[in-house]
């Protein structure tokens, strides 16, 4: 099976892609293109998968960068491959050609940013914690520090868990709405005291509020399509031992 890549017109002409799980070398629960070094998948197989992604991005594997994601609002500026362990952060920005920013997800939002005119790109991992703490706004600010203009930045949210499949409890509502009562709009009622949270809708709202013109979501739900996407929540519901990580990348 060949690699499958979802692209967005808003990010052209830059080379980018939201990679599905299709076309990888992993097997078992990781079957497909698992690019997560933090998974319990075989390290050499993950390296093969990442090499296939690098080849699709027309770069050497060492130039496919990913950080140690910790659900934070931290953004790092990168201008060369990492030496040693990757830093703990949840977003990267660069103005250096030939580097691909790789964001790993399995329900959280992978968001790719680009100001193609200024030659500045960014990538962010935004689950609810990162989004709530400001990782999207921080990524935009970091791009502006490198010369991007807010009104020229395009942003696209890749495959993420949809509201229909993101069930949460009242304590989650209290945390989110405690930050801003306006965020209540992203919850819909479920059974009993359960609610459904609209993570991509929340991300789009934050991007618009930060001054990004016409942000988009690819409208792919990771939970609902096991043939194409990994999903942490689905793996928990199926009592699986682990789960694969999708990769989304962009380069100058």
- The span from the CA of 225 to the CA of 160, in Å, is 11
Q: Strand, coil or helix: what is 249?
A: strand
Domains and CATH numbers, the chain: 5-161+221-251 (3.60.140.10)
Question: Which residues fall within 8 angstroms of residue 26, CB to CB, at 6 or more apart?
Answer: 32, 33, 34, 41, 42, 45, 46, 49, 244
- pLDDT tens-place string over residues 73-121: 999 999 999 998 999 999 999 999 999 999 999 999 999 999 999 999 9
pLDDT for position 190: 86
> Which of 99, 104, 206, 186 shows the shortest CA–CA distance to 146?
99
pLDDT, averaged across the chain: 97
Whether omega for the bond prior to residue 13 falls within 30 degrees of 0, making it cis, is: yes
> What stretch of H or E contains 104?
strand 100-105
- pLDDT tens-place string over residues 20-76: 999 999 999 999 999 999 999 999 999 999 999 999 999 999 999 999 999 999 999
Q: Is the pLDDT of residue 1 over 80?
A: no
């Amino acid at each position: 099976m060949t690699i499958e890549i979802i692209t967005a017109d808003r990010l052209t002409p830059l080379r980018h892609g939201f990679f599905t799980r299709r076309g990888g070398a992993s097997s078992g629960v990781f079957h497909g293109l698992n690019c997560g070094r933090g998974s319990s998948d075989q390290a050499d197989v993950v390296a093969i998968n990442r090499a296939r992604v690098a080849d699709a991005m027309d770069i050497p594997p060492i130039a496919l960068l990913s950080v140690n994601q910790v659900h934070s609002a931290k953004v790092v500026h990168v201008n060369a491959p990492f030496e040693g362990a990757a830093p703990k952060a949840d977003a990267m920005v660069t103005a250096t050609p030939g580097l691909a920013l790789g964001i790993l997800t399995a329900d959280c939002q992978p968001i790719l940013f680009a100001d193609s005119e200024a030659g500045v790109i960014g990538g962010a991992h935004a689950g609810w914690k990162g989004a709530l703490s400001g990782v999207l706004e921080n990524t935009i600010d970091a791009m502006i520090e490198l010369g991007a203009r807010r009104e020229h930045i395009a942003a696209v949210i890749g495959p993420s868990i949809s509201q229909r499949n993101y069930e949460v409890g009242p304590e989650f509502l209290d945390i989110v709405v405690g930050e801003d009562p306006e965020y209540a709009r992203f919850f819909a009622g479920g059974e009993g005291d359960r609610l459904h949270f609209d993570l991509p809708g929340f991300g789009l709202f934050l991007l618009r509020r930060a001054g990004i013109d016409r942000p988009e979501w690819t409208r792919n739900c990771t939970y609902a399509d096991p043939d194409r996407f990994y999903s942490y929540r689905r793996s928990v519901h199926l009592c699986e031992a682990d789960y694969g990580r999708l990769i989304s990348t962009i380069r100058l």
